[in-house]
Amino acid sequence: MKKQKIYVQGAEVSIFTIQKRDYISLTDMVRNIENGLVLIEKWLRNKNTIEFLGVWEQLNNKSFNSPEFGGIYNSAGLNRFTMSVKQWISKTQAIGLISKTGRSGGTYAHKDIAFEFVSWLNPVFKLYLIKEFQRLKEEESERLALDWDIKRNLARVNYRIHTDAIKEYLIPQKLQPSSCVYANEADVLNKALFGMTAKEWRETNPKQEGNIRDYATAAQLVCLVNLESLNAEFIRQGLSQSDRLLRLNEIAIIQMRSLLTIGGIQKLAE
């Protein structure tokens, strides 16, 4: 529940929003009027008021007790007819009026009903009330638009940070020509894709269990399978290990860039 206040001709009027419905304090509207609270009950005893409230509830409240409302409407206007806000709510299960207790207590009405009440109470006050209420809503809309714009820009920044991280940590680094020969062909693939051998990874991550491939992403694993097939073909072609390493590294860079596009990631997740 969100609570706000507006100031209308020197009167402080509370507004609170619940389930996207705005309720305005009728009590605040009559606070500076002598015996003002009596005016709310006087308004509620009016047959036209009862009719208006009943139609509003029927349009907006599926739980409204229409049969009970029918009996109240038939009695409205008689000299002996009395009706309080609490009685109206209790008998009809109405949601357009709310009776609150405590520090912020009083009678609140949905804005549609509040404007109807203030028309009966004081048409001039109504004009100022509507003007201030509209100003409040316009300021809210501007804040929401600003929040949305900030969030959109933050999303763009986060996306850039994310893509930069991908480029830095997931795209393999281009290797320089080397005469180093790896005893294990698996390390040729590790070096081409991850930039390090299994031993180098263990030395860099002494507290991690398993091996370098246990911590590979889905995209890296897909690329690794492709590199294994290519490496086998390169071996059959008689390429040296150093040449194979450089070619596999170039292919790994190209494939990882493709796999780490948004479309590639979504396909892997499916």
Answer for the pair 259, 268: CB distance below 8 angstroms, yes or no. Answer: yes
- Look at residue 74 in the predicted model and tell me its pLDDT: 93
Q: pLDDT of 119-170, one tens digit each?
A: 999 999 999 999 999 999 888 888 877 766 666 665 555 545 444 544 555 5
Structure tokens given for 112? 């549609």
Tell me, what's the pLDDT at 215?
Answer: 86
Residues of the chain scoring pLDDT < 70:
1, 147-171, 176-183, 262-270
Tell me, what's the pLDDT at 257? 85
With CA atoms as reference, report the closest residue to 225 among 193, 258, 253, 260: 193
pLDDT at 223: 87
Dist. CA 161–CA 131, nearest whole Å: 45
Amino acid found at 59: L
Please report the pLDDT score of residue 54 as a whole number. Answer: 95
DSSP string, 192-259: HHHSS-HHHHHHH-TT--S-GGGG--HHHHHHHHHHHHHHHHHHHTT--HHHHHHHHHHHHHHHHHHH
d(CA 252, CA 259): 10
Q: Which tokens sit at 203?
A: 């030395």
CB within 8 A of 100, min separation 6: which ones? 106, 107, 108
**Unique residue bearing structure tokens 């009026």:** 97
Q: The tokens 């002996």 sit on which residue?
A: 80
**What is the structure's pLDDT at 141?**
85
The residues near 95 (Cβ < 8 Å, ≥ 6 apart) are 57, 60, 61, 63, 64, 110
Residue of 82, 90, 71, 1 lying closest to 38 (CA atoms) = 82
- Going by C-alpha positions, the residue among 37, 21, 17, 19 that lies closest to residue 29 is 37
User: Could you give the 3-state DSSP secondary structure of residue 24?
Assistant: strand
| CA distance from start to end of the chain | 40
As a whole number of angstroms, the distance between CA 212 and CA 34 comes to 81
